[in-house]
Amino acid sequence: MRKTHRFARIAYLLLIALLALAQPALAADAEQSPFRLPELPYAVNALEPAIDARTMEIHHGRHHRAYVDNLNAKLVDFPALADSSIESVLAKVSTFDAAVRNNGGGHYNHSLFWEFMAPVGKTGEPSAELVAAINKDFGSLDAFKKAFSEAGAKQFGSGWAWLIRQEDGSLAVTATANQDNPLMDVVATRGTPLLAVDVWEHAYYLQYQNKRVDYLAQWWSVVNWNAVNARFEN
């Protein structure tokens, strides 16, 4: 009898010790929601004059933050989100609901968008390999830029224009509505994003008002070709 009691006591102490060890980890998990707002890779005014500091502040600090917060809020309905990369969620986004589609897309698209821009002088140039691929599929770098800007200008309402690499290796320009993107299993043309521009009014309205075409023209001055080259090589 005494032996059983001692065993029970040891088991009980072990359990307490394990719970004490597990507690900080559980607390950290609660704090560390799986989806995080990335820091901007430059100061909010670093893209001026193409994009003003106030637009960057609101766009990153409020719009992108809201997509992250709203996506994390969906963990209640879809606990599997906690163990998923954003890319894998988007690849089967049709199995979730509209909020995951909109906010998951919003989080992914903006994370890319910040990386796809850099201050003037730090943007680099398209690599020889990228230029060769662009020449092959669009005729010239200028023809590609024209097609990309037109896709952004013609996107009715909110959305994005993309340069993607398709499964067969060819490059293509596409546009998506709202926060959809080429990784999603719900869009017409799928592929790996190499470059993207946000044509939601919140991306340009403070500075350009309704002149989306002017925003797109200025935007090329801050396109981070180093980032595009790196994605193209991978």
Q: Residue 206 burial by CB count (10 A; 0-12/13-18/19+): exposed, middle or buried?
A: middle
113 vs 138, beta carbon nearer Mn ion: 113
Task: Tell whether residue 114 is a contact of Mn ion (CB under 5 A).
Answer: no
Candidate ranges 85-93, 145-153, 201-209, 222-230; the one touching Mn ion (CB under 5 A): 201-209
Binding mask 202-221 for Mn ion (x = CB under 5 A): -x------------------
Which residue's CB atom is positioned nearest to Mn ion? 198
* Site for Mn ion, residues 29 to 48, rule: CB under 5 A: none
Is 226 in contact with 123 (CB distance < 8 Å)?
yes
User: Which distant-in-sequence residues (6+ apart) come within 8 Å of 87 by Cβ?
Assistant: 108, 183
Q: How far is the CB of 56 from Mn ion (least distance, A)?
A: 11
66 vs 172, beta carbon nearer Mn ion: 66
109 vs 229, beta carbon nearer Mn ion: 109
65 vs 146, beta carbon nearer Mn ion: 65
Q: How far is the CB of 113 from Mn ion (least distance, A)?
A: 7
Task: Tell whether residue 200 is a contact of Mn ion (CB under 5 A).
Answer: yes
Distance, in Å, from the CA atom of 150 to the CA atom of 127, rounded to the nearest integer, reads 23
**Best CA proximity match to 173, nearest among 200, 203, 135, 146:** 146
Q: How many positions of this chain bind Mn ion (CB under 5 A)? A: 3
| Residue at token pair 């089967």 | 92
Q: How far is the CB of 225 from Mn ion (least distance, A)?
A: 21
* Site for Mn ion, residues 170 to 199, rule: CB under 5 A: 198
Q: Residue 37 burial by CB count (10 A; 0-12/13-18/19+): exposed, middle or buried?
A: middle
Is 91 in contact with 108 (CB distance < 8 Å)?
no
The DSSP code for 206 is H
Residue ranges that bind Mn ion, judged by CB under 5 A: 198, 200, 203
